[in-house]
Every structure is written in C-alpha cells, then in structure tokens.
Amino acid sequence: MKYRQARWTSDVCLEPLVFELGGKGRRGTFSREKLLSDPEIPEGFIRASINLPELSEPEVVRHYTRLSQMNFGVDSGFYPLGSCTMKYNPKISEELAGLETATNIHPYQSEETVQGALELMHNLERSLAEIAGVSRVCLHPAAGAHGELLGMLLVRAHFKLKGEERTEVIVPDSAHGTNFTSAAMAGFNVVVVPSDSRGRVDIAALQEAVTKKTAALMLTNPNTLGLFEDGILEIAKIVHKAGGLLYYDGANLNGIMGKARPGDMGFDIVHFNLHKTFSTPHGGGGPGAGPVGVCKSLEEFLPAPMVEYNKKAKRYYLDYNRPYSIGKIKSFYGNFGVLVKAYTYILMMGAEGLEAVTDAAVVNANYIMRKLEELSDYEFKYPGPCKHEAVVSVEPLKTEKEVTARDVAKSLLDYGMHAPTYYFPPIVPEALMIEPTETESKEELDRFVDALKRIAEEAHTKPEKLRSSPTGTAIGRLDEVKAAREPILSWRMYKREKTKDAEAPPQEIKNDATP
C-alpha cells in the first residue's frame, strides 16, 4: 500500500500562484450599492492602482480547494509530531465557535450585550484553574510562546515590586527553544542547566546554578524527552528557597492531565496550549491560545481586564481596576473563537474524560517505545516509562548507513503519516520525537511501528531510496539552501527576479510557470 497525495500539476509547478490565474475584469465577490456620499478623501491620498489578482468565485474556490488537497492534517492521518499534541479536533467545537452569537460580537460592546461571552470566559478560566491547580488564569495570550512572554513579564513585575534585582532565568538544556527566547525577550539572561543521565534536570547542577540573581526556572513537565521530572518537589524547593519562581511550560500537559497538577508541584506560573491539550485545531500554524495561570501572590500583576462576576447583580463584567497589572500583551481579551472550542472540549470530556485522555496518550506512547525497543536500529538513550511522548534515536542508522533522522522522518510521509519532530531535543543525537496522542488506535500504532521497521530494513538494503524520499507527496525534497540564499518571499520579488534573469539570461530559468 503506497500513499499518494494529490498532486495538481502544470508542467513546472503544482498549482499556479493565484496571481497567475483569472483574467481582467473578473471578481469573486461583492458588488456595492449606490454610495451615500462621495468619500471626502483629498485626491493626493488616493492610490492609483493595486495589483491584486482578478478571479471569479469558482476559480478562487477551485484554487484553494486544490491547495488544501496538497496539505496533510490530523483528519488526513496519523500526526505524531512530538510536543505538538496533534489530537483529533471535534467538529462540534467548530460549529459552536462559528455561531453568529460568537463571531458577530464586538469586544467594545456594552457588557449587557455580551453576557454570554463573558460567562463562557469566566467558566473556562475556572476550569483551567482547576486543571492546573492555580488561582487565576489570564486568557489573553494568542499562543504558547506569547504566554511564556507574559509569564516572564509577570516574573519581572513581581521582583520589581519586591525591590529585588534578579536578572537570570534558568532553563534546562532539553527545553523548548521558545523558553530561551521568551526569557531573553523579557530582558533576562538565560542560564542553562544540563540534564542528568536519566534525562531529568541535573539537580546538583541546578543547586549550583541557583543564586540570588535567579528570577525563575522554566520547566516542562513531562519534559521534552517525555519523562516526568520526578525530582520536581526538590527542584521547587531549591528554586523557592533561593527566592526564585517556577514557570511551567504547558506544551506537555497532555501527559499528566487529571493525574497531577503543576500548581501542586510548586509551579507559580503555568501556560496552557489550548491548541494542543484542549483540542482546538492548529490551523496550519495558528490561531492558537496560550492562557497563563498564576498562584495567588501573582494575581495582581495579570493583564487587564479580567472577567469577574457580580453575585448580587448576577452579572459578569470586565474588571479594568487592576492597579498592579503589567498592562496588556494583546488587544482585547484573547483569541475568543479558540476559547469557545476549548470550553466545548472540556465540557464534553469532564474530569473523567480528561483523565482517560491522559491514560490513552501515555499508554500509546509507551506502547510505541516498547515496540521500537525491539528493533536494533532504534535506540532509547533514557529508559521509560515515558509519559505522552517518546524520543528515539536513529544514531545506529546514521553511523552504519548514513541514514539520518530526517531521512527516516521523510520516509514516513510516504506511508501516509506525518513525520515526528526530529533533531529535538538537541541532547539526543538523531532524535525522533514521537507523540501519538490518545487519538490513535492500537492498529494505527502497529502500522506506524511496522513502517519504521520497514524503513530500518530499507536503510540497510536501499539507503539511497530513503535519502531521496518522499516520493508520494505532492512534491519531493526542496532546495532549502537556495530558498535561504536567494530569498523570494512574494510575487513582487519573484517578478523582479524573473525580469533580472530575462535581462541577463546566462542560465535557463527552470521554475518559470507563467502561462
């Protein structure tokens, strides 16, 4: 059985760019009625022309339908992208977030006219606070990294009020790349602590790294190896004793939800990825939502407004009266449409359902780990059991056959599966980071393991084939070096390049697709 992705194609490209389609005078939508008055814009401020494509509605629909067919989503198949929690996204959530009573309300409407939206945000906040064991949750951040930045700004506000100058944030060497950047963006110096031989934070090294300058430790638990930081209570003690705060990167919450709570572990600040754990779709890169929960003592710093409930008046309201608030990190109140979907999901799952999610996610990951341990070409550098994801190394294939983690990952695409995250975390050589999620059945996991087994066999017999994979996808491997060296980032730049080439044509232009 061989996977074949749709491959809409002309001679030299898959599907023309929208600028290369349509024809003069066509349009896809809108015809206006009579103008009520002449716009009072002075002549000098009116633009002469605008270069947009001209297509009819069916042309637009066909073009973007074809593009969608050359894209792979969770609804297409297995998507074991580590640390991204690519679980099924319920259709009911889309339906409810698409209601006119959700899409056609304006953030500046009077509170009387948006009581439902405020109630939903209030309830979602309570549920998230319960799930993470925190006191309050700010729903504003648009993504996990955005939440991290907010978290770091809260850390700074906390120490500023206390009059302490703390300049360092500690991050383990296995941490997500965003942790380093978020801490730096908030003005902190990043101190890296190594992992120990068990793949957990080296506690002795942490003890050394913690000083009077330590503002916070950022930690993912389960960590990016999928392993639970079982020294968490001691870690929390060390950081807190030095006066620092503990930040929880919530990307991996799917591994412990309903089993243990970051707040109970000693974390002071927690971010959630609603587009991971709470099943809102990732949309090819967003929109997501990255709410931030905090313990009681940090509440006062959260952005305004927070949603509050006036029991007497039985009325929800937006509270801007927050004198110690750091101010805002996003306009309005967050990605509301995403919040509706996460709320719907939590309501459907309930406490039992969320725990069942964790159970299935963790059993699935351990099952893959166990099955791959049987294959000599796949190595686990750190013993399990793991939580929601497992990191395997294909170092043996690299050493023996010059087949890399990338080659193995790309080969998987030809089995109609998405690739795992690879080369991450950096502490594992030739890493494949596999997160199956609770969405997959045992049969699907067996197919995946079988695919990896066949790929390993081929690595020994036909390594060239793996290096030139994938072949069943819409396109084969791309020239990434060229993309970076001669960046073409828009139709304008492309046209300019073409003109340059036409004026001085020493080489043949191979990617010219203009009809």
Partner 1 sequence: MGSHFLPSTRESLNEMLREIGVANIEELFADIPSKIRLKHGLNLPPPMSESEVRRHVKTMLSKNKPFTEMPTFLGGGVWPHHVPAHVRSLVQRSEFLTSYTPYQAETSQGMLQALFEYQSLVAELVGLDIANSSMYDWATAAGEAALMCARVTGRKRFLVPKLISPERLSVLKNYISGPALETVEIGYNSATGQLRVDELEGQLGEDVAGVYIENPSYLGFLETQVQEIAEAAHKAGALFVVGVNPISLGLLKPPGDYGADIVVGEGQPLGNPVSFGGPTLGIFACRDEQKLLRQMPGRLVGMTTTLDGNTRGYTMTLQTREQHIRRERATSNICSNEALCAVSAAIYLSSMGPSGLREVAETCASNAGYAMKKLRKIKGLQVPIFDSPHFNEFTLKCVKPGLGIETFNDRLLELGVHGGTPVQREFPDLGETAVLCTTELHTKEDIDKLVEAAARAVEGKK
Length of the chain: 515
Q: What does residue 41 show for φ and ψ, rounded to 5 degrees?
A: -95, 125
- Please, are residues 365 and 252 in contact by the beta-carbon 8 Å criterion? no
Nearer to partner 1 by Cβ, of 68 and 399: the residue is 68
144-162 vs 177-185: helix crossing angle, rounded to 10: 40
Nearer to partner 1, 64 or 400 (CB): 64
176 or 398: CB nearest partner 1: 176
Instruction: Give me 207's structure tokens.
Output: 């003890």
Rg (CA), the chain: 26
Q: How far is the CB of 252 from partner 1 (least distance, A)?
A: 13
State which residue, 195 or 460, has the beta carbon closest to partner 1: 195
**CB 127 to partner 1: min, Å:** 6
Cβ-based nearer residue to partner 1, 191 or 397: 191
Choose between 96 and 210: whose C-beta lies nearer to partner 1: 96
Separation of alpha carbons 272 and 277, rounded Å: 8
Alpha-carbon span 78 to 106, nearest angstrom: 38
Which amino acid type is present at position 27? R
- Report whether 269 contacts 245 (CB < 8 A): yes
Nearest CB to partner 1, comparing residues 78 and 456: 78
Minimum CB distance to partner 1 smaller for 74 or for 455: 74
- H-only helix segments in 336-462: 336-373, 395-401, 405-413, 442-461
Residue 149's nearest CA partner among 328, 319, 331 is 328
Rounded to whole angstroms, how far apart are CA atoms 168 and 247?
A: 13
Q: How far is the CB of 108 from partner 1 (least distance, A)?
A: 5
CB nearer to partner 1: pick between 400 and 426: 426
Q: Which amino acid is at 198?
A: R
Q: Are 206 and 235 in contact (CB under 8 A)?
A: yes
Smallest distance, partner 1 to C-beta of residue 296, A: 18
Cα 281 from Cα 94, distance rounded (Å): 9
Rounded to a whole number of angstroms, the minimum distance from the CB of residue 486 to partner 1 is 8
Nearest CA to 139 out of 337, 353, 348, 358 is that of 337
Q: How far is the CB of 408 from partner 1 (least distance, A)?
A: 13
Contact 67, 15 (CB under 8 A): yes
Closest separation between CB of residue 351 and partner 1, Å? 4
Of residues 381 and 477, the one with the C-beta less far from partner 1? 477
Question: In whole angstroms, what is the distance from residue 128 CA to residue 142 CA?
Answer: 16
Write down the least CB distance from residue 271 to partner 1, Å.
12
- Report the C-alpha gap between 512 and 501 in whole angstroms: 11
Alpha carbon distance 37, 114 (integer Å): 33
CB of 403 to partner 1, least distance (A): 17
CB of 498 to partner 1, least distance (A): 11
